[in-house]
Homo-oligomer: A and B are copies of this chain.
Amino acid sequence: MTLSKAEEQLMQLLWKQERAFMKDLIDAYPAPKPATTTVATLLKRMQDKKFVDYIQLGRSREYFPLVKKKVYFSKQVNSMIKTFFNNSPSQFASFFTEETNLSKKELKELKALIDSEIKKK
């Protein structure tokens, strides 16, 4: 089960807020904001898909993610790696390094980071 584009956008807003009432989510939308009913529909569909849940507070619902952004993102990347790079993360990594425009500074940071990863192993 995956999120559609519109659902994903909403999910992003929810991840950012951690927990939110519908109003907060709508506030967070850039203009042109969708109708409240649109957001309500999306939230309900996302519930059905088990991506969000809520607790009833008074007559309002405080929504929260059921899936961590990291986990969701990981799945996305892994599926891309599988699709595009024959399931080889290192192939993906090298492609990424070459194709993305990282500055020299960023590259150095990345290198340092990799170093610390290597040490962990």
Chain B residues contacting A113 (CB-CB under 8 Å) are: 93-94, 97-98
**Contact of A99 with B by CB under 8 A:** yes
- A residues bordering B, Cβ < 8 Å? 8, 12, 69-70, 73-74, 76-78, 80-81, 83-84, 89-90, 93-104, 106-111, 113-115, 117-118, 121
A83 to chain B: closest CB distance in Å?
6
Assembly stoichiometry (copies): 2
Residue pair B84, A110 in contact (C-beta under 8 Å): no
Given contacts A76-B80, A102-B90, contact A107 B118 (CB under 8 A): yes
Chain B residues contacting A104 (CB-CB under 8 Å) are: 118, 121
Residue pair B93, A110 in contact (C-beta under 8 Å): yes
A112 to chain B: closest CB distance in Å?
10
Residue pair B110, A97 in contact (C-beta under 8 Å): yes
